[in-house]
Structure formats: C-alpha cells, structure tokens
Amino acid sequence: MEWVTTLHWNTHRGAKASRGRTGSRLTRGSFLDGFPDERVRAVAQAFLDVAQDTGARIVYGESFGLSIRVPCEGIRQPISVAWLYSRKDAGWMRTREFTFGAALYDHELPEDSRLHVERYLDELRAAAFTRDVSSKGVRAWAVGHEAAVEHQEVLKDLLHRIITGFGSTFPSG
C-alpha cells in the first residue's frame, strides 16, 4: 500500500502534515490476488460472478475488501447485502471473511422489501456454518473462508436470491 504525506491547512493554526492512503481502490483482479488459497479465491470469484450477473453493484475497498450492494425501491441508498475480504483478521465494523446480511441503517423499507430481507436474514441465522457479527445498523452473519468452500452452492443461491428478489436494478450508464 502506498502512503502519501498531505498538508492540511487550518486557518487558525497553519499547515499540518499528515500521512494517509492515496485512495486507490482494489480491482477485481487485485482483490482476488489477495487470497492465498486457490479454493477460497475460486469461491470469492463465484460470489463476484453472481453479483455481476444479477446486476448488483460491487464496491471495492482500498486494501482487502469489498461490498455488494443492491438498489431498493423506496429508499435512496442501496442496501449492502454482502462483504467479502481476502484477509481473515479485519473487516468493516464486525464483518469478516465472507459476510452476508444487510446494512439497513434504520431505513424504512417498503413492506415487500422488508419481508424479503427478513427471509434472507432468517436463512443466514439458521445456517449452522455462520456466526453472528451484527452491529448497529448491520444484521449480518460471517462465514469462514474454509466453510465457504464447503457451502459455496448454498451461499451462491442465497446471494442470488437476495439480489434478484428486490426487483430493482441500478440505472445503466
């Protein structure tokens, strides 16, 4: 990762130097290259294929992760429904490895969308291979990389159903 020094100007105190990331984002290739295990990399690629093929938005982070987002009629911001990380020890909030759920931030969802999300969350909660990593505004269950290899068909199906069940698509262009 590249670091740069930036000068921040405060009108009361003058210039102050600070270090920060350059802001470059991962790409599909660089994200997948972060997985040392070929089997886990193939599962991550399959999840990305599901997201891409169903019209979800993949938002790459700056170092080792991404989120998969879906538009929902009735609310302005898309809902994040999955977070994928090449590293096992870090993630956004409590999300880790391969995490599935919904970042809702107390949105008032239309009734049919709310029921759709609830069914998805119920299935995740019931799966013996997930662990609850919910936090404020995020209801989510993490799946370890190795468990995802074993249960990839179930997870791909869940991801496909949550994305396509909203019946909304992002505007093209």
Q: Is the pLDDT of residue 55 over 50?
A: yes
pLDDT given for residue 17 in this prediction: 40
Nearest in space to 98 (alpha carbons), one of 80, 79, 84, 86: 84
Q: Determine the Cα–Cα distance for residues 52 and 90; give it in Å rounded to an integer.
A: 24
* Structural domain contains residue 2: no
What is the C-alpha radius of gyration for the chain, rounded to an integer number of angstroms?
A: 18
Containing domain of residue 83, as a range? 25-164
CA distance 158 to 28: 21
Q: What is the mean pLDDT of residues 140-147?
A: 97
pLDDT at 104: 79
Measuring CA to CA, how many Å separate 137 from each of 94, 112, 133, 151, 158?
11, 20, 11, 26, 21
Residue 59 placed within a domain: yes
- Comparing 141 with 14, the larger pLDDT belongs to 141
For 22-31, 112-121, 134-143, which range has the lowest pLDDT when averaged over its residues? 22-31
| Residue 13 forms part of a structural domain | no
Q: Is residue 1 domain-resident?
A: no
pLDDT band of 109, cuts 50, 70, 90: confident
Say if residues 44 and 30 touch (Cβ distance below 8 Å): no
Which residues have a Cβ under 8 Å from the Cβ of 112 and sit 6 or more positions away?
none
Residue 15 included in any domain: no
Tally of domains in the chain? 1
What pLDDT is attached to residue 173? 55
Answer yes or no: is 9 within a domain.
Answer: no
State residue 107's pLDDT score. Answer: 65
pLDDT over 60 (residue 129):
yes
Bridge partners of 14, per DSSP, are 10
**pLDDT average, residue stretch 52-80:** 91
pLDDT for 124 equals: 96
* Residue spans of alpha helices (H) in 56-151: 111-126, 145-150
Q: Edge-to-edge strands of the sheet including 138-143?
A: 57-60, 65-70, 79-85, 98-103, 138-143, 131-132
Judged by DSSP in three states, 42 sits in helix
pTM of the entire predicted model: 0.83
CB atoms within 10 A of CB 107: 18
When pLDDT is cut at 50, 70 and 90, the band that residue 14 belongs to is very low
Whether 100 maps to a domain, the answer reads yes
Is 121 part of a structural domain of the chain? Answer: yes
Mean pLDDT for the chain?
84
